[in-house]
Amino acid sequence: MSTRQEQKQKTRQAFFDAVLNLCMTGQSFSSISLRQVTREVGVVPTAFYRHFDDMESLGKNLVEHELGTALAALREFMQFGKKRSFERQIATNVQIFFEAIDSHPHYWQFIASERFGGSEAVRHAINNQIAIFANFMSEDLALQPAFAHINKYDRTLLAETGINLSFSWIRDWLDLRDDANFSESITETEIASRKKDMLHRCTRQTQMLFYGAYNWQSSETTLLKDE
């Protein structure tokens, strides 16, 4: 990679980091202005357009780069279909997910906040990355005999449900992290106990989901109200 390409990537990452830092102050992505971002990066506004068409383009690229990279790493570590889907694997995978949040809290807060936020481009980018991950996860599950009786459509639904479940934990886990960092009235022991309790509850939720899927028959039909 040339020095010029390296500098371009470095500047693009600086824009991503600027957005994440501003969102950590409580701002939503849709409320952040181009001038705020360029001021945070330390460049003139015209320099922004060398990298992005507009703020929506910046948000879309941020999600594709950060979430795409994060989910690819999670898939590599988890490998649902290549191991037994019993307690230790599920517990380990839930713990891996929380460790990923702890490693990049700014980014995961952005995802949790903006998945249903005001930017259409960001919402679509997040949903697209989730759909890609769900397809990969469905393929992994197909490798496991426990889910061989479930057709591809239902395996994808199972994957989507698992992802939606895990994404619903992000905000609560970050709150525990914030309590540990900023609350003087809560001891480290209490924070550790709360994290252990949440890890247990989330593991049980995931077990109930996947053990239930083991008994699902894809031949079953769901009646709609108008049928």
Distance of alpha carbon 60 from alpha carbon 80, whole angstroms: 28
Average pLDDT over residues 178-191: 78
Average pLDDT over residues 129-154: 89
The pLDDT, as a whole number, for residue 148 is 84
Give the range among 54-63, 84-93, 209-218 with minimum mean pLDDT.
Answer: 84-93
The pTM (predicted TM-score) of the whole model is 0.84
Q: Is the pLDDT of residue 222 over 70?
A: no
Task: Give the list of residues 6+ apart from residue 189 with CB closer than 8 angstroms, or none.
Answer: none
Distance of alpha carbon 162 from alpha carbon 53, whole angstroms: 34
- 55-214 has which CATH code? 1.10.357.10
Please report which confidence band the pLDDT of residue 82 belongs to, taking 50, 70 and 90 as the band edges. Answer: low
Please report which confidence band the pLDDT of residue 220 belongs to, taking 50, 70 and 90 as the band edges. Answer: low
What residue segments make up the domains of the chain, in order of their start?
Answer: 55-214
